A and B are shown apart, each in its own frame.
Chain A
Amino acid sequence: MIQAKTKNLKNFSTSAERFEGANLLCPGCAHSIIVREVLNATDDHLILGASTGCLEVCTAVYPHTSWDASWIHIGFENGSSAVAGAEAMYKALKNKGRLKQPDRTPKFVAFGGDGATYDIGFQWISGCFERGHDMMYVCLDNEVYANTGGQRSSSTPIGASASTTPSGRISYGEKQNKKDMMAIMAAHGAPYVAQVAPNQWRDMVSKIQKGFATKGPVFINAMSACTTEWKFAPEDTIAISDLATDSLVFPLYEIIDGTKLNITYRPKNVIPVRDYLGAQGRFKHLFTKQYEYLIDEWQTRVDAKWEQLQRREEACL
């Protein structure tokens, strides 16, 4: 059944959903695309969790829910631990013979934004991965605290204008480079760590399925283009995502057992980083005489990272 579902985009986009279209996410929000792609990648039962953030506040406002699978939210920092606790209970009840449907094995998935993942919830995720819970953690990485109005996170890239690091007469906005969460999670020795983008849906589905087939903690960093805070038109979500993956600003790769790195998408035509930055309002101020040097620095940084990824991939061969 799952093969038929993921054969082509039409089947995939119309397959039975456990995440309802009835939600409060912004038109053009990539979160809903990613969540559907994750949930539709398996036929197994799902036990889901979310940290406080856009996804949570837009999908479970009493008396409504968008989730047709068990789902839990506690707070901003502990979506990972909530799901880990449920996974521990599953193991306990299985061991004690008290599962209501002992013939079925659910999958455990926690969702969190980059605020919940890179910043406030980092310790909890680290704990869950060190302890080896059999779960998948999916970061919906839109590089900003979008739910609360666009404050910077440690995933916000340098030069982006965010509400707590705005660009201005004497500032180009965010001063820090984006935290390398992929490397940090791989350093936990997690059996599977992967970066995905919803526009590359085949690549994404194959990684999610690989993740579901993996025993132990799986980390997925999913780029989630944010129409509201990145400032682009709602209908351009996939186009912006294409610019991100094809400029290599957001390279798609996986790291297995903390060491073996595979690049999973090589754009036929690599486009300049300038094109990606220029398509978003959050980088608008960089296209001035004062800050234009930052665009060149961006390109140099992206080139260096791509070079590094390729070297690491070669080193594993």
Chain B
Amino acid sequence: MADIFELRDIEVWDGNMAASHALRQAQVDVVAAYPITPSTPIVENYASFMANGYIDGEFVMAESEHGAMSCCIGASAAGGRVATATSSQGFALMLETLYSASGMRLPIVLNVVNRAIGAPLNVNGDHSDMYMGRDSGWIQIDCYNPQDVYDMNLVAFRVSEDHDIRLPAMVHQDGFMTSHTAQRVKTLSDDVAYDFIGEFKPMNDMLDLDHPVTHGVQTEEDWHFEHKARQHHALMSAVLPKIQEAFDGLKALTGREYNIVESYTMEDAEIAIVCMGTSVETAQEVSNELRAQGIKAGVVGIRVFRPFPLEQIADVLKGCKAIATLDRSSPNGTVGALYNELAGALFNTGTHAVLTNNIYGLGGRDLTKSSIHTIYRDLQANAQAGSPTTPLQQFIGLRGPKLSFF
């Protein structure tokens, strides 16, 4: 039996520590992991909890991220709660097995501390790894600060393991900006946190020796399509309602409110920025300043990236005249992914909003309030003109000659 860890009501934790404590409180049965900056402290903290008697599950220090996720898949299929953490190159190495985990319908929770993907090698935060995972069949929940990381981990276990869903979930946080920046985190006691998640209920577990199961079969053109369609159906139909249910439960328990789409001063907003991660709070600050000047600015934060809440986003943005999406990943030959998602969400809705795309913050480049002010100024001009006054895609915060496309 693991020891109870007495937490203060408010702790000062960085995002990594918040994730480590959430995994500890979830009483994960097997963590198999491989350290990589900036997610390393998640497993280091966890190892320290273990060394001091606060963990009674198994901790497998694998030889690579691919090996780590492979162990996670085997452990999850065996029938218990499983979690791990990674970033960047490690995420890329894991990618093959990420598709296996979702295709095999295994509820694994993966903390992804977002970081750029080389070359050139870079240890700092951007969303390249998060974007790389967007077709992998996982639930993807995004966090803006350490409090989010703590809460969203609890939500992720609860949703992922639900028998109507049985899909793995990623909890994303920005490398360094969230993972290494200590902030106030309101905590739950160990038993309350565990009760919120609930006990793990095995299904098709290999270790039920009286009921042998075969995991990871081959299906060709006769069945593959049906399997993938059922997986997509589970992702599309069951996940958002369960996440909302978990958010409602968390609010009742803690008073903290989360939404599938985090809209900020959007009720009467004419111009809006749509973004993810730590940029959401920065944009909110700027919009406050603009509101003080009487400018109807708003911010939409993506909380659930997969399944993408197409209808909810369109609904929040329906009154806008100009919208800018902020993508923190190199688009490599097209518009940013968030731009594409938004265009998809808004098309057929009758909106006449002008939609533009900003690429920012690659490899950990700061997004300053001044840059966001510039984006809002562009949005005001677009709203007034009723058409783009700038190129569709602009690179912001980039040194050298201005770079823009389309």
- Is the Cβ of A85 less than 8 Å from the Cβ of B217? no
A88 touching B214 in the complex, CB below 8 Å, given contacts A81-B70, A100-B209: no
User: Nearest-CB distance from A99 to chain B (Å)?
Assistant: 7
Is B375 an interface position by the 8 A CB rule?
no
- Is the Cβ of B219 less than 8 Å from the Cβ of A72? no
Tell me, in angstroms, the Cα distance from A56 to B219 when the chains sit together.
Answer: 12
Residue in chain B with minimal CB distance to A104: B209
- Is the Cβ of A73 less than 8 Å from the Cβ of B60? no
User: Nearest-CB distance from B245 to chain A (Å)?
Assistant: 26
Instruction: Give the most central of B57, B97, B207: most A CB within 10 Å.
Output: B207
Residues on A with C-beta less than 8 A from B205 are 100
Interface residues of A in 42-91 (CB under 8 A from B): 45, 47, 49, 56-57, 60-63, 65, 67-75, 77-78, 81-91
A127 touching B78 in the complex, CB below 8 Å, given contacts A60-B216, A99-B207: no
Is A123 an interface position by the 8 A CB rule?
yes
Is B162 an interface position by the 8 A CB rule?
no
A90 touching B207 in the complex, CB below 8 Å, given contacts A74-B100, A75-B97, A127-B67: yes
Is A131 an interface position by the 8 A CB rule?
yes
Is A10 an interface position by the 8 A CB rule?
no
Is A124 an interface position by the 8 A CB rule?
yes
- Is the Cβ of B73 less than 8 Å from the Cβ of A100? no
Of A71, A84, A90, A124, the residue contacting B60 (CB under 8 A) is A84
Is B123 an interface position by the 8 A CB rule?
no
A126 touching B63 in the complex, CB below 8 Å, given contacts A67-B212, A86-B77, A90-B78: yes
- Is the Cβ of A68 less than 8 Å from the Cβ of B217? no
Residues on B with C-beta less than 8 A from A26 are none
Is B213 an interface position by the 8 A CB rule?
yes
Is B61 an interface position by the 8 A CB rule?
yes
User: Nearest-CB distance from B23 to chain A (Å)?
Assistant: 14
- Is the Cβ of B64 less than 8 Å from the Cβ of A127? yes
- Is the interface on chain B under 10, 10 to 19, 20 to 34, or 35 or more residues? 35 or more
Tell me, in angstroms, the Cα distance from A126 to B73 when the chains sit together.
Answer: 18
Is A169 an interface position by the 8 A CB rule?
no
User: Nearest-CB distance from B11 to chain A (Å)?
Assistant: 26
Residues on B with C-beta less than 8 A from A68 are 212
Interface residues of A in 206-259 (CB under 8 A from B): none
Residues 206-222 of B, flagged 1 when their CB comes within 8 A of A and 0 if not, give 11111011111111100
User: Nearest-CB distance from B212 to chain A (Å)?
Assistant: 5
Residues on A with C-beta less than 8 A from B198 are none
Is A3 an interface position by the 8 A CB rule?
no
A62 touching B75 in the complex, CB below 8 Å, given contacts A85-B70, A93-B80: no
- Is the Cβ of B207 less than 8 Å from the Cβ of A85? no
Of A71, A82, A89, the residue contacting B207 (CB under 8 A) is A89
Residue in chain B with minimal CB distance to A66: B214
- Is the Cβ of A81 less than 8 Å from the Cβ of B71? yes
User: Nearest-CB distance from A122 to chain B (Å)?
Assistant: 11
- Is the Cβ of B71 less than 8 Å from the Cβ of A88? yes
User: Nearest-CB distance from A7 to chain B (Å)?
Assistant: 26
Of B70, B207, B218, the residue contacting A74 (CB under 8 A) is B70
User: Nearest-CB distance from A109 to chain B (Å)?
Assistant: 12
Tell me, in angstroms, the Cα distance from A73 to B29 when the chains sit together.
Answer: 21
- Is the Cβ of A74 less than 8 Å from the Cβ of B74? yes
A81 touching B67 in the complex, CB below 8 Å, given contacts A60-B214, A71-B212, A95-B56: yes
Residues on B with C-beta less than 8 A from A93 are 29, 78-80, 207
A60 touching B29 in the complex, CB below 8 Å, given contacts A72-B77, A85-B71, A93-B79: no
- Is the Cβ of A84 less than 8 Å from the Cβ of B74? yes
Is B164 an interface position by the 8 A CB rule?
no
- Is the Cβ of A101 less than 8 Å from the Cβ of B78? no
- Is the interface on chain A under 10, 10 to 19, 20 to 34, or 35 or more residues? 35 or more
- Is the Cβ of B58 less than 8 Å from the Cβ of A88? yes
Interface residues of B in 191-236 (CB under 8 A from A): 205-210, 212-220, 223, 227
- Is the Cβ of A82 less than 8 Å from the Cβ of B70? yes
- Is the Cβ of B206 less than 8 Å from the Cβ of A85? no
Instruction: Give the most central of B56, B63, B74: most A CB within 10 Å.
Output: B74
User: Nearest-CB distance from A20 to chain B (Å)?
Assistant: 12
Residue in chain B with minimal CB distance to A130: B63
Is A149 an interface position by the 8 A CB rule?
no
A89 touching B58 in the complex, CB below 8 Å, given contacts A47-B206, A61-B219, A68-B212: yes
- Is the Cβ of B67 less than 8 Å from the Cβ of A78? yes
Residues on B with C-beta less than 8 A from A57 are 218
Is B92 an interface position by the 8 A CB rule?
no
Of B62, B66, B97, B206, the residue contacting A70 (CB under 8 A) is B206
Is A268 an interface position by the 8 A CB rule?
no
Residue in chain A with minimal CB distance to B2: A96
- Is the Cβ of B80 less than 8 Å from the Cβ of A89? yes
Is B366 an interface position by the 8 A CB rule?
no
Tell me, in angstroms, the Cα distance from A247 to B104 when the chains sit together.
Answer: 45
Residues on B with C-beta less than 8 A from A95 are 56-58
A74 touching B216 in the complex, CB below 8 Å, given contacts A126-B63, A127-B62: yes
Residues on A with C-beta less than 8 A from B71 are 81-82, 84-85, 88
Of A62, A69, A92, A98, the residue contacting B217 (CB under 8 A) is A62
Of A65, A72, A78, A96, the residue contacting B206 (CB under 8 A) is A72
Residues on B with C-beta less than 8 A from A278 are none
Is B32 an interface position by the 8 A CB rule?
yes
Residues 252-286 of B, flagged 1 when their CB comes within 8 A of A and 0 if not, give 00000000000000000000000000000000000
Residue in chain B with minimal CB distance to A131: B60
Known: A68-B212, A81-B62, A85-B75. 5 other contacts (CB 8 A): A85-B73, A85-B76, A86-B74, A106-B209, A124-B66
A–B complex contacts, Cβ < 8 Å, 13 sampled: A45-B209, A62-B223, A62-B227, A70-B213, A74-B97, A81-B67, A85-B32, A85-B72, A89-B76, A89-B78, A124-B70, A127-B63, A127-B64
